[in-house]
């Protein structure tokens, strides 16, 4: 009998030591799904003189990739990029969780996780299939939303170790739900650039890219560590074309700009602010605020200049750094 995703689950837990398995019991988000999943042993074909068929097979690194898609429902996924947050005291029923940790700053090492994905194959007679992926590092974390849709997350990961699968569900159940979760949609999002709220935004996305990689060593086909390179934070938004402000932001980053002055970034007290909030107050408040500094638009695209069509401007941008603050009623991050 063929089975659907109703017979499967995926959950994760942050590791203390790279590729040392921990109990995976965290839920990624609402409507989580495995969009792609590949494991390779990097087979090496060895040819031989006097024949055209391969003579032997050798095997290189064990490498796995995993992509999870889900609806943003809690802030804890930012821990894959920023590590453990600092947490303020609860006031009026709300605590603020800050990424990165106030005393540590932007982490220079990669935070790994154990991901467990299981499939109920008991009817096969050989037991269930429970795969434990160790040393999972997040390559990129992308958030996007558009009018009429949810705030969707794509988390692309790679992993360096996987052992023989187990045949019994670990704990026998799906991951526990976060204590504090909420399905964010486009209606719960707000965008501010250079101290000004951008009106009539049609779609918005932001991507955190660690440019992380695995490290292998002699005497093992599995990864022994991981490291990260330059941290890139990029994004785009599309809104109604109402004025020339964004156009001048792009033009002023060359010396021939309309103001006649070179400006490296757009400036402002708040250069970039993306807020996702449920609009409640007190202990019911759930807010995720992304603040970016060093905002530099990359290009501007204008669409819709044709009969009876709305005209939009699309801006692609990059920031030098970001902080994420999350307000909710939880006294400690569910790490």
pLDDT digits (tens, 9 = 90+) for 228-260: 999 999 999 999 999 998 988 888 887 666 666
Residue that wins the pLDDT comparison between 35 and 169: 35
Residue that wins the pLDDT comparison between 260 and 315: 315
Q: Can you tell me the mean pLDDT for 25-49?
A: 95
Burial of 244-259, coded b for 16+ CB within 10 Å and e otherwise, reads eebbbbbbbbeeeeee
Q: What is the DSSP string of 53-114?
A: S--EEEE---EEEEEEEEE---GGGGHHHH-SPEEPPPBTTBEEEEES-TTT-S-SSPPEEE
Tell me how many degrees the CA angle 69-73-75 measures, rounded to the nearest 5. Answer: 100
Cβ atoms of 71 and 150 within 8 Å: the answer is yes
Pairing of strands 161-162, 152-159: unpaired
Mean pLDDT across the chain: 91
Burial of 45 from C-beta contacts in 10 A (0-12 / 13-18 / 19+) = exposed
Q: What is the pLDDT of residue 307?
A: 96
Q: Which of 45, 42, 48, 49 is nearest to 57 (CA)?
A: 45
Cβ atoms of 175 and 188 within 8 Å: the answer is no
Q: Which of 158, 249, 267, 256 is nearest to 210 (CA)?
A: 158
Q: What is the pLDDT of residue 173?
A: 63
Q: What is the pLDDT of residue 257?
A: 60
Separation of alpha carbons 128 and 3, rounded Å:
12
Cβ atoms of 181 and 30 within 8 Å: the answer is yes
> Does residue 325 surpass a pLDDT of 60?
yes
Kindly report, residue by residue over 95-142, the tens digit of the pLDDT: 999 999 988 888 999 999 999 999 887 766 667 889 999 999 999 999
Q: Can you tell me the mean pLDDT for 26-53?
A: 95
Q: Can you tell me the mean pLDDT for 55-75?
A: 95
Q: What is the pLDDT of residue 143?
A: 98
Task: Please enumerate in sequence order all residues whose Cβ is within 8 A of that of 11, keeping only pairs 6 or more positions apart, or say none.
Answer: 24, 25, 26, 27, 28, 115, 116, 174, 175
Q: What is the pLDDT of residue 47?
A: 96
Q: Which helix (H) or strand (E) holds 81?
A: helix 79-82
> Does residue 177 surpass a pLDDT of 90?
no
Q: What is the pLDDT of residue 120?
A: 82
The predicted model scores a pTM of 0.93
> Does residue 283 surpass a pLDDT of 60?
yes
Q: What is the pLDDT of residue 273?
A: 97
Residue 329 tokens, joined: 């009623």
The partner residues of 190 in beta bridges, in order of sequence, read 275
Q: What is the pLDDT of residue 72?
A: 96
Pairing of strands 232-240, 296-303: unpaired
Q: What is the pLDDT of residue 258?
A: 61
Q: What is the pLDDT of residue 259?
A: 61
Cβ atoms of 181 and 73 within 8 Å: the answer is yes
Q: Which helix (H) or strand (E) holds 201?
A: strand 201-209
pLDDT > 90 fraction of the chain, expressed in percent and rounded: 74
Cβ atoms of 318 and 298 within 8 Å: the answer is yes
Q: What is the pLDDT of residue 310?
A: 95
Q: What is the pLDDT of residue 125?
A: 60
Q: Which of 319, 191, 301 is nearest to 264 (CA)?
A: 319
pLDDT > 70 fraction of the chain, expressed in percent and rounded: 95
Q: What is the pLDDT of residue 251?
A: 85
Q: Can you tell me the mean pLDDT for 314-331?
A: 95
Q: Can you tell me the mean pLDDT for 54-70?
A: 96
Pairing of strands 43-46, 56-59: antiparallel
Task: Please enumerate in sequence order all residues whose Cβ is within 8 A of that of 20, keeping only pairs 6 or more positions apart, or say none.
Answer: 134
> Does residue 30 surpass a pLDDT of 70?
yes
Classify 292 in phi/psi space as left (phi over 0), alpha (psi -120 to 50) or beta.
beta
Residue that wins the pLDDT comparison between 262 and 239: 239
> Does residue 172 surpass a pLDDT of 60?
no
């Amino acid at each position: 009998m063929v089975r659907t995703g109703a017979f499967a689950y995926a959950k994760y837990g942050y590791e203390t030591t790279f590729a040392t398995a921990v109990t995976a019991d965290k839920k990624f988000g609402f409507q989580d799904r495995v969009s792609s999943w590949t494991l390779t042993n990097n087979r090496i074909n060895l040819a031989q003189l006097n024949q055209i068929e391969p003579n032997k097979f050798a095997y290189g690194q064990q490498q796995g990739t995993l992509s999870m898609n889900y609806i943003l429902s809690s802030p804890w996924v930012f821990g894959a990029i920023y590590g453990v947050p600092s947490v303020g005291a609860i006031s009026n029923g709300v605590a603020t969780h800050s990424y990165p940790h106030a005393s540590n700053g932007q982490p220079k090492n990669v935070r790994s996780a154990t991901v467990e994905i299981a499939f109920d194959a008991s009817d096969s007679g050989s037991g269930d299939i429970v795969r434990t992926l160790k040393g999972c590092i997040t390559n990129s974390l992308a958030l996007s939303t558009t009018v009429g849709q949810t705030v969707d997350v794509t988390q692309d990961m790679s992993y360096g170790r996987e052992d023989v699968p187990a045949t019994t569900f670990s704990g026998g159940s799906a991951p526990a739900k976060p204590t504090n979760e909420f399905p964010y949609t486009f209606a719960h999002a707000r965008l501010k650039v250079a101290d000004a709220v951008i009106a009539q935004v049609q779609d918005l996305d932001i991507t955190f890219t660690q440019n992380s990689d695995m490290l292998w060593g002699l005497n093992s086909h599995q990864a022994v560590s991981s490291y990260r390179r330059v941290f890139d934070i990029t994004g785009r938004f599309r809104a109604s074309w109402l004025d020339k402000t964004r156009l001048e932001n792009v033009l002023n980053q060359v010396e021939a700009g309309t103001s006649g002055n070179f400006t490296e970034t757009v400036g402002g007290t708040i250069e970039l602010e993306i807020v996702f909030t449920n609009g409640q107050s007190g202990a019911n408040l759930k807010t995720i605020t992304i603040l970016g500094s060093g905002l530099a638009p990359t290009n501007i695209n204008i669409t819709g200049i044709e009969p009876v069509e709305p005209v939009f401007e699309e801006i692609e941008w990059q920031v030098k750094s970001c902080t994420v603050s999350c307000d909710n009623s939880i006294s400690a991050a569910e790490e």
